[in-house]
């Protein structure tokens, strides 16, 4: 019975340590990724919306 308790205690401590290590590495990884902004070199204008009959129907029904 004593061996089982010791094993469970050690495994719980090991899992907690791995969890803390994983969380800190993820936090630092996200911080580094935010600093690298990727910008394209395309000269094309990005079109997000084009007026069309279908869009007009959608907006009329949405109101």
* Number of domains, the chain: 1
Measured distance CA(14)–CA(24) in Å, rounded: 16
Give me the domain span that covers residue 31. Answer: 2-62
pLDDT at 49: 78
Look at the block and give the residue holding tokens 């129907």. Answer: 57
pLDDT at 57: 92
Report pLDDT digits (tens) over 3-62: 888 888 888 888 777 676 666 665 565 555 555 666 778 888 877 878 899 989 998 998
pLDDT at 24: 64
């Amino acid at each position: 019975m004593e061996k089982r308790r010791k094993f469970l205690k050690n495994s719980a401590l090991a899992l907690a340590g791995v969890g803390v290590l994983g969380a800190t590495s993820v936090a630092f990884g996200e911080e580094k990724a935010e600093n690298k902004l990727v910008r394209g070199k395309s000269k094309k204008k990005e079109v997000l919306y084009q007026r069309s009959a279908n869009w007009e129907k959608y907006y009329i029904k949405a109101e």
